[in-house]
């Protein structure tokens, strides 16, 4: 049996494992067998290449002679998902997701995508940079993100905040998924193109089923 090492798994590994398993379950329900065999879906994730800064780094930015640039440095990662028929061991989806994400972390894909975008923006202007980004979006299937929010509950004008959610719209994608954590709870929002996925509630239930199966399998693996 697959032994789950909890110290090596990250939240992104689990999230992508759930997404890949959930999409495979949805294809089992809604796509003919002849069309889903060998099917590949490519996701797009934005990566901030700027290291997490603290107050000391912020004070350096405020100096007039600072050579550090303001703003974020976003690169792109292409995340392929292949259809896999539902298997008896849900942890296989986690294993594949972790292997793929680990390869992406070691690659220079995000760095080069940022440099290419910066070069196009500098030499050709924002119009061509927007065209480049739009073409990348048109040739991918879904967007996925995972953002770490406040770890403690916050208030605005003495009103307690029960949850925080964020989403985007108008992207030429079939599925847009954003997960944001707040005070020990993580919520994932799903936005779909209705002409491609007319039953988003079925897709959400597939993700939920995949998460519960993965949780149960992980609990079983840690006891053995």
| Euclidean distance between CA atoms 189 and 142, whole angstroms | 13
Structural contact between residues 165 and 189, judged by C-beta atoms closer than 8 angstroms: yes
What is the pLDDT tens value at each position of the chain, 224 positions in all? 333 444 456 888 889 999 999 999 999 888 887 778 778 899 999 888 876 554 445 556 566 555 556 667 889 999 999 888 766 688 889 888 999 999 998 899 999 999 999 999 999 999 999 999 999 999 999 999 988 888 889 998 889 998 888 878 888 999 999 998 888 888 889 999 999 999 999 999 999 999 999 889 888 877 76
State the pairing for strand pair 175-182/142-148: parallel
For residue 108, with 0-12 CB atoms within 10 Å meaning exposed, 13-18 middle and 19 or more buried, which class applies? exposed
| Euclidean distance between CA atoms 217 and 101, whole angstroms | 21
Backbone angles phi, psi at 152, to 5 degrees: -115, 155
| Euclidean distance between CA atoms 113 and 132, whole angstroms | 11
Domains of the chain: 6-51+69-223 (3.30.559.10)
């Amino acid at each position: 049996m697959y032994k789950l090492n909890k110290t090596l798994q990250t939240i992104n590994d689990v999230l992508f494992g759930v997404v890949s398993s959930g999409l495979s379950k949805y294809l089992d329900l809604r796509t003919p067998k002849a069309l889903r065999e060998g099917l590949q879906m490519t996701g797009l994730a934005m990566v901030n290449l700027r290291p997490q800064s603290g107050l000391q780094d912020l004070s350096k930015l405020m100096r007039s002679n600072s050579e550090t640039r303001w703003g974020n440095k976003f690169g792109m990662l292409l995340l392929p998902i292949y259809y896999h028929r539902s298997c008896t061991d849900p942890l296989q989806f986690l294993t594949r997701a972790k292997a793929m994400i680990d390869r992406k972390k070691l690659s220079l894909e995000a760095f080069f995508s940022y440099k290419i975008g910066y070069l196009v923006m500098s030499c050709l202007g924002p119009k061509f940079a927007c065209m480049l980004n739009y073409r990348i979006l048109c040739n991918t299937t879904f967007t996925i993100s995972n953002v770490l929010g406040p770890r403690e509950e916050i208030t605005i004008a003495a009103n307690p905040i029960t949850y925080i959610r964020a989403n985007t719209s108008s992207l030429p994608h079939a599925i847009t998924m954003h997960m944001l954590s707040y005070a020990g709870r993580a919520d994932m929002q799903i936005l779909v193109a209705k002409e491609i996925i007319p039953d988003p509630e079925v897709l959400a239930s597939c993700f939920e089923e995949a998460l519960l199966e993965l949780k149960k399998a992980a609990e079983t693996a840690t006891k053995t």
